[in-house]
Amino acid sequence: MEDATSVAALWWAVIFSGIYHGVNPGMGWPLAVSAALFEQKPSALLRALAALAIGHFIAMTAILLPFSVMITLVEYERQIRIGAGLLVIALGIYLLINRRHPRFLARVSPAKLGLWSFLAALAHGAGLMLVPIYLGICAVAELDAGHTAAYALMSSNVGIAFTVATAHTAAMMLAGGVLAAIMYYWLGLKFLSKTWFNLDVVWALSLILVGVVGIWHATA
């Protein structure tokens, strides 16, 4: 029962982190609104959101898949999870100190929203935020499945990595898509420019929180 509760809580963390990323303007939904207003076509909004989703999904899997291989080293599972937590905390502290947005993102053409979304997710640590949660899910899954062969464990964890990335991206684009639709159909970019909200500090603190929770979960 305790394992089932733990894994359910971790999956909810995947979904809520996706919603959190989706609400954050830094993950790109204002660009989708801008593209739709520029083309004056509602379909442009969906195309832009789809491009953002694809880029974000690829970034999530690019971060998670290497850890799915590393976790096959079962004897080092705890150390890997603690190291991942420390890495996420370090990134959060760095973002608290350095508030500048990566300049290279401004050089990406607005027509390449998929590439922009991929780079933004990597630069802001969106993928790393999922790592401690993902490793926690894998740890509980190991207890339930009782895998004994390394290749079977890796196969299971690769599947979990894709599922985590899919669930997270779907939640993100649902939240971001709702905000983008509201801005496009009713409020417009003028309203957005007057009510712009910056989540940089909250983002950095949330990375630190996720890292601390990941380490606690690994050592409990």
Would you list the domain boundaries of the chain? Answer: 2-219
Q: State residue 177's pLDDT score.
A: 93
Q: What angle do CA 211, 218, 149 make, to 5 degrees?
A: 120
Between 43 and 9, whose confidence is greater?
43
| pLDDT, tens digit (0-9, with 9 covering 90-100), for 43-85 | 999 999 999 999 999 999 998 888 777 655 555 677 878 888 8
> What count of other Cβ atoms lies within 10 Å of the Cβ of residue 194?
8
Rank 108-117, 122-131, 143-152 by mean pLDDT and report only the highest: 122-131
| Residue 172 clears pLDDT 80, i.e. is over it | yes
Q: Alpha-carbon distance 186 to 36, whole Å? A: 13
Tokens found for residue 157? 């964890």
- The predicted pLDDT at position 171 comes to 95
Alpha-helix residue ranges (DSSP H) falling in 71-149: 77-97, 113-123, 126-145
